[in-house]
Amino acid sequence: MWYEFNQGSGDTLVDYSGNGNDGTLQNSPTWVGGGDLTQNGGDLAPVSFPRYWDKTGFQSDVENVGPQDGFEIVGRLERIDGRFDDLFTNHFTTDDFPDFEGEGNYIHVGFYAKWDQVVGWGVGQFEGEWVVKPDPDPNKYQYYEARSDGQNGDPGEYFRMYYSTQTSGPDIYVADPDVWKEGVDSPYRTINHTLTGLENGESYVTRASVFTDHEEVFDR
């Protein structure tokens, strides 16, 4: 899903996926990085922003990381009330990926994270598997990648990534999240994680998203 982001609390988030899941921005995030958001060096492009950003506790944080670290967007995941908090809940479902058929048809998520434990990923339960899983380190960013084919999940169920049930310990920082369908190139997957450019085609490039003139790339 893509949401148009207009800076300032209370602005409308427009769902570009066609599912009609419009929302309202409750927080006023600050984008990490400098310069304008442009379409091929021209007009300002829409900025992707996930629905229910405030409910997940995933907020931008410029105090701990910045452009010097090579990331375009960074969020902080806080430990709240000892409950499961998740990174991608209510952001996208199996229905957001055309021709998703379940078993063996994987959806990947990749991101850079600074945390003290490995998390769960999948639809409904923890049936996903890790593709890249370095030992967790709360003091440095590392690249993680997981995949799930949605087994045991109902049609249209949300993908979820749970990170903690603990209330103690440092907050977890996540940078440049990217979601794509296995075996499918553009428009379902961004060209790279740092958004330094596109290999071909007329595309919008923003701090947190890439999408073509004709189809959306989901949930960067």
Full domain range(s) for residue 103: 63-181
Residue 31 lies in a domain: no
**Over 50: is that where the pLDDT of 17 sits?**
no
The predicted pLDDT at position 130 comes to 79
In the structure encoding, which two tokens stand for residue 199, read together?
């290999």
Q: Residue 163: enclosing H or E segment and its boundaries?
A: strand 159-164
Q: Phi first, then psi: give them for residue 48, nearest 5 degrees.
A: -75, 140
Q: What does the DSSP 8-state code read for residue 154?
A: P
pLDDT of 170 above 50 = yes
Q: How far is CA 159 from the centre of its chain?
A: 11
Report the range of poorest mean pLDDT among 5-9, 109-113, 151-155. Answer: 5-9
β-bridge mates for residue 160, sequence order: 122
- When pLDDT is cut at 50, 70 and 90, the band that residue 110 belongs to is confident
Q: pTM for this one?
A: 0.51
User: Average pLDDT for residues 26-54, to the nearest whole number?
Assistant: 32
Residue 172 lies in a domain: yes
Read off the pLDDT band of 79 (50, 70, 90): low
Domain count, the chain: 1
Question: Is there a domain that residue 176 lies in?
Answer: yes
- Which helix (H) or strand (E) segment holds residue 148: the answer is strand 142-148
Cα separation, 212 vs 191, whole angstroms? 11
Residue 127 is assigned to a structural domain of this protein = yes
The band of 147, judged by pLDDT with boundaries at 50, 70 and 90, is: confident
Q: Is residue 156 part of a domain?
A: yes
Answer whether residue 57 is part of any domain. Answer: no
Model pLDDT for residues 82-101, shown as the tens digit of each residue: 444 455 554 566 666 655 66
Residue 198 covered by a domain: no
15 within some domain = no
pLDDT band at 142 (very low <50, low <70, confident <90, very high): confident
